[in-house]
Amino acid sequence: MDDLFLREAIKSFLKEDLSQGDITSDAIFQTADVGGAVFIAKSPLICAGVEIAAQVFKTLNPAINCRSFANDGRQISVGDKLLEISGPVLDLLKAERVALNLCQRLCGIATLTSSYVNKVADLPVKIVDTRKTTPGLRRFEKYAVRVGGGHNHRFSLGDGVLIKDNHIAAAGSIGQAVKKVRAFAPHTLKIEVEAEDLSQVMEAVDCGVDIILLDNMSIHMLNDAVNIAKGQAILEASGGINLLNLRETAETGVDIISIGALTHSAPASDISMKML
């Protein structure tokens, strides 16, 4: 993750939490009071964002000492130590919630992503995220997806062309939308089209698009779509896919499975900070 982006993002998170100071800590402690604390895992998880959590403390006070005990991507057990910090108690407590929020969020996403990736690890398919992310946290959340073994879809609307149902409806047809995109977009961008039925799959193939998003299709329809378009475009299945139907979806032969739940529904991992 870009260091400049990371520093500026963390500053904004700290400003949000400290806009009116920390009335509780300021009332109890003096600037000369020093101490230490540890981050402890209270649930099994895939480690993600411990160094980011450490950077929260270092951003608030560069004099805080941080020691990480787990690299991103490592399987963590209950009771494992993730991070140890020491320095002014006031600053440890002021940075605690921001650091924990980020670490818990990213570990949760990495852990959920890993469960999806492991479910189809023996099949030639990629598990991919979406833009259904928390505003302001997209880069962090997409980083956690990669830590969990997944892959990233578009980071923004300008990353690639994705002609969706509303584009098609407003343009009149897939063909009309693709024609206008080709006249406007740089040749370096791939063109992806969303298809809701087999007739749209065939129209997308006829237009020579690079990727076809097979949206909310049944397993039977996915099989038919793969028979029609395999080898002519990258095929992405999306919509209504969960751990129960993931493997069946992957076995249809699609190339990519995109899952919004990786970021919008991942439960936060249970991690606590304990003063020493």
Catalytic residues: 97, 132, 164, 194, 215
Measure the CA–CA gap between 60 and 174, rounded to whole angstroms: 51
What amino acid is encoded at 125 in this protein? V
Measure the CA–CA gap between 194 and 174, rounded to whole angstroms: 9
Residue 79: count other Cβ atoms within 10 Å of its Cβ. Answer: 8
**E strand segments, 24-168:** 34-41, 45-46, 65-68, 75-76, 81-88, 126-128, 161-163
Eight-state DSSP code of residue 88: E
Phi/psi at 173 (5° precision): -170, 165
In the β-sheet with 161-163, what is the strand arrangement from edge to edge?
126-128, 256-258, 234-238, 211-215, 191-195, 161-163
Measure the CA–CA gap between 76 and 273, rounded to whole angstroms: 16
34-41 and 271-275: which strand pairing?
antiparallel
Helix (H, G, I), strand (E, B) or coil at 75: strand
161-163 and 191-195: which strand pairing?
parallel
